[in-house]
Amino acid sequence: MSTYQVPRGTFDILPDESYKWQFVIKVFREIAREFNYKEIVTPIFEKSEIFERSVGESSDIVEKEMYKFEDKKGRVFALRPEGTAPVVRSFIENGLSLKTNSSKLYYLGPMFRYDRPQKGRYRQFYQYGIENIGSTNPFVDAEVIALAYRFLTKLGLKNFALQINSIGCKNCTTDYDDALKEYFNPSLVELCSDCRNRLLKNPKRLLDCKVKSCKAIAQEAPSMLDYLDEDCTANFDKVKEYLTAMEIPFIVNPKIVRGLDYYSQTAFEFIDTNLGAQNTLVGGGRYDTLAEQLGGKNMPGIGFAGGFERLILSMEEEKLSFGLQQVPKVYLVALGTEARIAGLKLIMEMRRMGISTEYDPDKTSMNAQMKMANRTGAEFALILGEDELKNNNIILKDLTKGEQKIIKIPDIIKSIKDK
């Protein structure tokens, strides 16, 4: 056993698995381009105040899960636990609202939360997400949801459901909070300690608790939909209308509130219907006051985020393809000193022409090199010995069919590229 092991709640992405990650990232980038979203990359750590102000002091992230540290000057930073606040901070700081085509953004990268590790959930995890900043038009809400739907369906996933809700705005949420307090107070002693704390600071968070006893108590809780004001009701109706027009199926679930304080109005989740308790593939919503909380002007926004770990797990559960693992196109078999020197020049020429080529200098015999060629999964073996070299020839062997033919060395690259 190694002297050192990977930290608890983290994992190595090994070569036999990395192609899966490359595949889903590639598809996500393609879908983002379809919707004209551009990539933004923010630092892995930010001032901790950014998350404390935006996510909410009563959230699990701020209270229990942030990795915080002081630098040599006593400034407090945090490894980013989520991607929205850093993107909005960058949007404000760099004046992206003044730049054309800079309001539709996507990001990829690691996030960090000190959470209890479990299946599909880690302390260092990798997220993809999008943010659309600057518009309150409910069409934007529907389009953001449509991007997530398009991504999941492009991957081939079928066992998922879209659940949507409106959690209102500051004008209509006070009465709802009061109604929740009245509903949950008689069951106060039966609630978990987190929910007892949430009831005072943010009662809607009780609807998001994953503890079974709390979920049972919340089953008959009042619905936010009964407390929406006229504007929020009209907005939510439009979101549903646009989703219907886009032929995106959805379920209205009044229990969807999301776990961060900056959300308002539209909230949504894509749920994997095959996974257990940790079954959210994508989650997001509108955050119309976040920019102001971070010191900017009033700039409404909406976005979503999802974890690659759970996404890949869902794809594996549905036995979906991740494409082919990386293998070389060609394996060079060189026999003799002069053939090896000539072979080195040849493989560099092939690589410059975009042909993936492998060669193992530690294998010298014909048998050992051919075994390695088959082991790598290469499509072709190029066999170059002293006799072939004298005649300016090389043997091209198709390892899948077992066929081979002699080709002039100057013609070999064209022959491979034509196949």
Distance of alpha carbon 322 from alpha carbon 26, whole angstroms: 11
358 in the same domain as 304? no
346 in the same domain as 288? no
392 in the same domain as 245? no
313 in the same domain as 364? no
Range of the domain at 342: 330-417
Radius of gyration of the chain measured on its C-alpha atoms: 28
The tens place of each residue's pLDDT in the chain, 419 residues long, gives 778 999 999 999 999 999 999 999 999 999 999 999 999 999 999 999 998 887 765 566 666 688 999 999 999 999 999 999 999 999 999 999 888 777 999 999 999 998 777 777 889 999 999 999 999 999 999 999 999 999 999 999 999 999 999 988 888 888 888 888 888 888 888 888 888 888 887 888 888 787 888 888 888 888 888 889 999 999 999 999 999 999 999 999 988 877 666 788 999 999 998 866 568 899 999 998 888 888 888 899 999 999 999 999 999 999 999 998 899 999 999 999 999 999 999 999 999 999 999 999 999 999 999 999 999 999 999 999 999 999 999 999 999 999 999 999 999 999 998 87
140 in the same domain as 115? yes
Distance of alpha carbon 55 from alpha carbon 267, whole angstroms: 15
Q: Is residue 191 a part of any domain in this protein?
A: no
Distance of alpha carbon 96 from alpha carbon 89, whole angstroms: 10
Q: Is residue 312 a part of any domain in this protein?
A: yes
The b/e string for 243-266 (b: 16+ C-beta within 10 A; e otherwise) is beeeebebeebbbbbbbbbbbbbb
